A and B are shown apart, each in its own frame.
Chain A
Amino acid sequence: MTAREWLLSDTPQSRSQARMGRLYGGWLTFTGNRLAMVGLGIVVALMLMALLAPLIATHHPFAQDLANRLQPPSAANWFGTDQYGRDIWSRVVYGSRLTLYIVLLVALTAPVAGLLIGTISGYLGGWTDIVLMRITDVFLAFPKLILALAFVSALGPGIENAVIAIAITSWPPYARIARAETMTIRNSDFISAVRLQGASPTRIILGHVIPLCTSSLIVRVTLDMAGIILTAAGLGFLGLGAQPPLPEWGAMISTGRQYLLDQWWVATLPGIAIFVVSLGFNLLGDGLRDVLDPKN
């Protein structure tokens, strides 16, 4: 029996075999989607770039060389140089670290908060549900970027504060999704069975409801990554995100736009980087949805 046959067996011999089999099936669906693979490739490349930044970059991202400023792309400076003579390629490479840092921090905080609020609200119902959902409504009533702007202005500019602001503004949709899922699960027989065995609400929510909500949430988070990147870049562009001299892509575009007429590369190349990475996350999310969405 080959490994493939073992994985795809219709009669798995053990739980783990069944689980592995399901994962492998998902992987096969995923690899069948060529665009999703492109997305995965881009995201993996981004991670490698962030991880190996010192090896990939040709210059230090902060190293200024005023005599050599605003030079077009060349063999020495692949993406040209900016207004302080810094190498744009190296800055884009190091900027990937900031992008990943923001994306990961937001992805670790906002969905977790949303999941907790949504499942508690959906499972307990009653007053808890009303109060939590009205708070969610309040957050949903503001445009995301505007609310993030308000938070950053209050907290002060900086990359950590940008992460906090984005996390605060992006949890409500997750809470909504988790709540809707919970409502459908809450009254199913297996939950009643657990409850009859005397399990506490905490145990039911943590052990039985949350695991069932995660897959749809993961899809949503992956699809939101592009939005998070754009919001972070937007804050950087407005001077409220990463502060100089950090090579955040949005901030790079912001300063580069002063030179857009004569030195297009200063703003355009970090812009392309944002575009490619956002596209990568969107394609990946799309592919993941096909695999994970229970309704398909």
Chain B
Amino acid sequence: MNKFTRSLIGAAFVALAATPAFAETPKDSLVMAWQFDDIISLDPAEIFEVSGAEYGAQVYDRLIGIDLKDTSKIVPAVAESWTVSEDGKTYTFKIRDGVKFHSGNPLTAEDAAFSLQRAVKLNKSPAFILTQFGFTKDNVDQKIKAADARTLVMETDQAYAPTFVLNCLTADVASVVDAKLLKQNEKDGDFGYSWLKTNSAGSGAFKLRQWKANESLTLDANPAYWQGAPEMKRVILRHIAEPATQRLLLEKGDVDVARNLKPEQLDALRSSKDVRIVEAPKGTLWYISLNQKNPILAKPEVRQAFRYLVDYDAMGRTIMNGIATIHQSFLPKGFLGSLDDKPFKYDPAKARELLTAAGYPDGFTVTMDVRNVTPWTDLAQTIQASAAAAGVKIELLPMDGKQALTKYRSRNQDIYIGQWGADYQDPHTNAETFASNPDNADNGPSKTLAWRNSWDIPELTQKTKAAVVERDADKRVEIYHELQKVVMTDSPFVVMFQQVEVPVERASVKGLIWGPSFDNNLYRLASKK
């Protein structure tokens, strides 16, 4: 055999080996690669994480929802209609007939009342969304009740803007749970909490089959769903931390959707015919926050200096390219009153001036808790390097999403780098968490982001409260502008980016809905060719 033939045969072998072996996913199942190491609980009264919220949206129904085409509109869900009383305090919901839970129990107004009461009484992280209307453990049984099997009546402590109240009821925490089933699984008066953490009791398009933390989340279709059975018999979410692995799985057909690809991988996939890149702008913000319990970070000059230590432009052009846009106010674009100012640029000299004024001409050392997946780690390392230019030495502490969040919620961090997703489509959702902290005590009742960073702001808290009861829309916008300006220039928060979610689907997948927030991403209508 001469040299030429030999190399030809060699080339043939290489070509054969390179032909991808397709491991197709089952026709009736949707398989998704996603990072969901942040899920702490599957109980809708406790879910307060980005990934958990999306799970809640598949398994539970809420009374009302938002119109995904026009987020300022409220649409019926299990409540087919509703009325607000003259004095603006009493809300009456008419519950749809014929909706059934996965267990077969009919969904009634009693279930809806029980769900809201339960969330208030359990008082987990998201409970404030309901308790801000004056509900407490003791009065909620009177304030929210079922008048009859089809009528739910809710009474707030004062007249709020009705859209605000209704928007709050579109949040995950207002999901309707199966009261009968939970009562069967109740232990020591916990309203079935310890059971529901890892089980489901909903009426949604899917029911939970199995959750293995940081591994997989499997959902089965609910054939009796009132809006029609999903075409997919099963949805399997796989926790794949590595974007590179997600891309490989997607290209090989082992998954139908990859959720966490990086900009450079998206570039490589843009020309592929097998996959489709979807862009869904989200109301989710990337920010870093400085815990005010740390005496160094509590100095106003230091807080300001941090605004000049983030290289927004360079990150936006590279590691966040296509998956986020630069945004520096706490209201995401698309929300009422959102401010589009971007006054800050990377400027280490200016930061050093501010640090010198604060008494740290040579900088200082702090730690930063980082969720151990991209792009968190990329953002953190870039900030570490850009902050080092002004002498601020940041030690990164990489950890599980769950671990970082738990630490953050008990206020034990120095610097936290995180994502904040709006809970509902009203500016108050972010105003409340970024600009109000009613009680800064360690056991404070309202665990807003301001509280988590120990930022004591009685005046801003009052202003935030005033914005909710302001019925003149223009004046309301004005208050939100003012709040955003304060938080932007002098707060523990450095808001950096607004997320654009970029899921990549195989070309055969149709019908997945990527909404304006994670609890509006829906798998119900998905189908495969």
Residues of chain A whose beta carbon lies under 8 Å from any beta carbon of chain B:
62-64, 66-67, 69-70, 83-84, 157, 239, 243-245, 255, 257-263
Which of chain B's residues has its CB closest to A256's CB?
B244
Interface pairs A-B: 6 shortest CB-CB? A66-B314, A258-B244, A64-B385, A66-B318, A244-B381, A244-B396
In the assembled complex, which residues on chain A have CB atoms less than 8 Å from the CB atom of B382?
64, 66, 84
Residues of B within 8 A of A70 (CB): 264
Besides A244-B396, A258-B242, A259-B264, 5 other A-B contacts (C-beta < 8 A): A84-B378, A245-B385, A258-B262, A261-B244, A261-B268
Interface assignment of B384: CB less than 8 Å from any CB of chain A: yes
- From 316 to 371 in chain B, residues with beta carbon under 8 angstroms from any chain A beta carbon are 317-319
A66:B374 contact, CB within 8 angstroms: no
**B443 to nearest A CB, angstroms?**
28
Residues of A within 8 A of B372 (CB): 239
Q: Evaluate contact between A243 and B395: CB separation under 8 angstroms.
A: yes
Q: With an 8 A cutoff between CB atoms, is B311 at the interface?
A: yes
- Can you give 8 contacting A-B residue pairs, CB < 8 Å? A62-B388, A66-B319, A67-B317, A245-B384, A258-B242, A259-B264, A260-B244, A262-B265
Question: Is B248 an interface position by the 8 A CB rule?
Answer: yes
**Chain B min CB distance to A178 (Å):** 39
Which residues from B are CB-within-8-Å of A64?
382, 385-386
- What residues on B are CB-neighbors of A157 within 8 Å? 398
In the bound complex, do residue B247 and residue A261 qualify as a contact, i.e. CB atoms below 8 Å apart?
yes
- Residues on the B chain within 8 Å of A62, using CB: 385, 388
Q: Are the CB atoms of A243 and B396 closer together than 8 Å?
A: yes
Specify the chain A residue showing the minimal Cβ separation from B395.
Answer: A243
| Contact call B317/A262, Cβ cutoff below 8 A | no
Nearest Cβ on chain B to A244's Cβ, whole angstroms: 5
- With A84-B382, A261-B244 as known contacts, state yes or no: A67 contacts B318, CB within 8 Å: yes
Contact A257 B244 (CB under 8 A): yes
Report the interface size for chain B: residues with CB under 8 A from the other chain: 29
A84-B396 in contact given A66-B318, A66-B319, A260-B244 (Cβ < 8 Å): no
Which chain B residue has the least Cβ–Cβ distance from A63? B385
Q: Are B248 and A261 in contact (CB under 8 A)?
A: yes
A244 touches B244 (CB 8 A): no
Q: Which of A62, A84, A239, A243 has the most CB of B within 10 A?
A: A84
- Docked Cα-Cα span, A62 to B318, in Å, equals 18
Give B230-257 interface residues, CB cut-off 8 Å to A. 242-244, 247-248
The binding surface of chain B is classed by DSSP as helix
Contacts of A83 in B (CB 8 A): 319, 378
Q: Roughly how many angstroms separate A253 CA and B381 CA in the complex, as a whole number?
A: 16
Residue numbers of B with Cβ under 8 A of A are 242-244, 247-248, 262, 264-265, 268, 311, 314-315, 317-319, 372, 374, 377-378, 380-382, 384-386, 388, 395-396, 398
Q: Which of B243, B385, B395 contacts A258 (CB 8 A)?
A: B243
- Expressed in whole angstroms, the Cα–Cα distance for A62 and B394 within the complex equals 13
Q: Is the pair A66, B395 in contact by a Cβ cutoff of 8 Å? A: no
Is B247 a contact partner of A84 (Cβ separation < 8 A)? no
Chain A residues whose C-beta falls within 8 Å of the C-beta of B244 in the assembled complex: 257-261
Residues of B near A258 (CB, < 8 A) are: 242-244, 262, 374
Closest to B386 in A: A64
Q: Is the CB of B315 within 8 A of A84?
A: no
Residues of A contacting B319 with CB < 8 Å? 66, 83
With both chains docked as a complex, state the minimum distance between the C-beta of A4 and any C-beta of chain B, in angstroms: 51
Are the CB atoms of B247 and A257 closer together than 8 Å? no
Complex Cα distance, B374 from A245, in Å, reads 15
Q: In the assembled complex, which residues on chain A have CB atoms less than 8 Å from the CB atom of B314?
A: 66-67
Tell me whether A239 and B398 are in contact (CB under 8 A). Answer: yes
B268 A262 Cβ-Cβ under 8 A: yes
B381 contacts across to A, CB distance below 8 A:
84, 244-245
A-side contacts of B265, CB under 8 Å: 262
> B414: shortest Cβ distance to chain A, in Å?
15
CA distance A243 to B396 in the complex (A): 7
Rounded to whole Å, the gap between the CB of A94 and the closest CB of chain B is: 15
- Distance of B176 from chain A, by nearest CB (Å): 41
State whether A69 and B318 are in contact (beta carbons under 8 Å apart), knowing that A84-B382, A84-B385, A243-B396 are contacts in the complex: yes
CB distance from B144 to the nearest CB of A (A): 46
| Residues of chain A within 8 A of B247, CB atoms compared | 261
Q: How far, in Å, is A267 (CB) from chain B's closest CB?
A: 10
* Min CB gap A254→B, angstroms: 10
CA distance A69 to B314 in the complex (A): 11
Roughly how many angstroms separate A99 CA and B100 CA in the complex, as a whole number? 63
A69–B382 Cα gap in the complex (Å)?
Answer: 12
Q: Shortest distance in angstroms between A93's beta carbon and chain B's nearest beta carbon?
A: 18
The answer on a CB contact under 8 Å between B318 and A262 is: no
Q: Given A62-B385, A243-B396, decide whether A257 and B315 contact each other with a Cβ distance below 8 A.
A: no
- In this complex, which of B264, B317, B374, B380 has the most chain A Cβ atoms within 10 angstroms of its Cβ? B264
Most buried by B among A62, A243, A261: A261
- Nearest Cβ on chain A to B427's Cβ, whole angstroms: 33
Once bound together, how far apart are the Cα atoms of A191 and B248, in whole Å?
Answer: 66
Tell me how far the C-beta of A242 lies from the nearest C-beta in chain B, rounded to whole angstroms.
11
Name the residue on B nearest A68 (C-beta): B318
Query: Is B315 a contact partner of A66 (Cβ separation < 8 A)?
Result: yes
B348 → A minimal CB distance (Å)? 13
Least CB separation from B370: chain A residue:
A244
Q: B384, A262: Cβ atoms under 8 Å?
A: no
CB distance from B484 to the nearest CB of A (A): 28
Q: How many angstroms between the C-alpha atoms of A83 and B244 in the bound complex?
A: 13
CB neighbours (8 Å) of A262 from chain B are: 264-265, 268
> Closest approach, in angstroms, between the C-beta of A25 and any C-beta of chain B?
50
Q: How far is the CA of A83 from the CA of B380 in the complex (A)?
A: 13
For A69, A244, A262, A263, the residue with the greatest tally of chain B CB atoms inside 10 Å of its CB is A244
Q: Give the shortest distance, in Å, between B320 (CB) and chain A (any CB).
A: 10
Question: Nearest Cβ distance between residue B239 and chain A, in whole angstroms?
Answer: 16
Picked from B248, B268, B311, B377, the residue with its CB within 8 Å of the CB of A66 is B311
Shortest C-beta distance, A247 to chain B (Å), equals: 12
State the CA gap A55–B317 with chains docked (Å): 33
Counting chain A CB atoms within 10 Å of each CB, which of B311, B314, B378 scores highest? B314
CA A160 to CA B258, docked complex, whole Å:
38
The distance in angstroms between the C-alpha atoms of A261 and B243, with both chains bound, is: 11
Check if A257 sits within 8 Å of B385, measured CB to CB: no
Q: Looking at the assembled complex, report how far the CB atom of B310 sits from the nearest CB atom of chain A, in whole angstroms.
A: 12
Q: How far is the CA of A257 from the CA of B242 in the complex (A)?
A: 9
In the assembled complex, the CB of B67 is this many whole angstroms from the nearest CB of chain A, namely: 38
Find the B residue at minimum CB distance from A158: B395
Complex Cα spacing A131 to B62, Å: 65
How far does the alpha carbon of A66 sit from the alpha carbon of B312 in the complex, in Å? 11
For B398, list chain A residues within 8 Å (CB): 157, 239, 243-244
